[in-house]
Structure 1
């Protein structure tokens, strides 16, 4: 089994939860904030993954079997390694949105 095939179910669940979270954000009028927060978190996770995976692979902590990857690499890391942080960002953003309750607005006189 390849790393791409192993990642697809997690990515699929992440996409579904993210879409449900997007519908929830739309009802609350927070779509722009939802997508911009997800994008910022995703970019940060992808950059950190690229840096630290390459450092750990260069240090010899781990490597991937060539039979289980597509062969496309960014530095030393296979591109399939980006699917894990992407799936995590999708899933966690959706869950965060679904678990957030209605926002209460406070006036200046409230304590």
Structure 2
């Protein structure tokens, strides 16, 4: 199994949970209007931190990758597949919050 396939599975599951959460939210339009900017800001911050710290960890040898399992596309030392996990988190956390809230409009 390649890292790209594993990453696609994580992103797919997170996206599916978000779609279900938004589909069942009564105030979906309001949520999207209010959330797009904070989620975008969080995405930029998390992706920059991922790029910086993953490059450091790979550079000092804490992490290694089997070259035949990565796509070959890199940002510095980081395979692009590494960015799927923080993106999945950015999709999944708001979705889980939506699915677990109780009756309050948020």
- Work out whether the TM-score is over 0.5: yes
Judged with a 3 Å threshold, the aligned counterparts in structure 2 of structure 1 residues 34 and 22 are, in CA distance, closer, same or farther, namely farther
Question: Which structure: greater helix fraction?
Answer: 2
The number of residues matched between the two structures is: 103
Please, what TM-score do these two structures have when normalized by structure 1?
0.81
Deviation at 1:71, TM superposition (A): 0.4
Point out where structure 2 has 5 or more consecutive residues left out of the alignment. none
After superposition, the C-alpha distances for 1:2-55 in whole angstroms (9 at most, x for unaligned) are 10111222111111112233332416x222122223222222211111010001
1:26 to 21, 28, 31: 28
Q: Say if 2:90 is the partner of 1:89.
A: yes
Q: What displacement does 1:74 show?
A: 0.3
List gaps (5 residues or longer) in structure 1.
105-111
**Runs of 4 or more above 6 Å deviation:** none
- Scaled by the length of structure 2, the TM-score of the pair is 0.85
Q: Which has the larger radius of gyration?
A: 1
Q: State the shift of 1:79 in Å.
A: 0.5
Distance, in Å, in 2 between the alignment partners of 1:73 and 1:22 is: 33
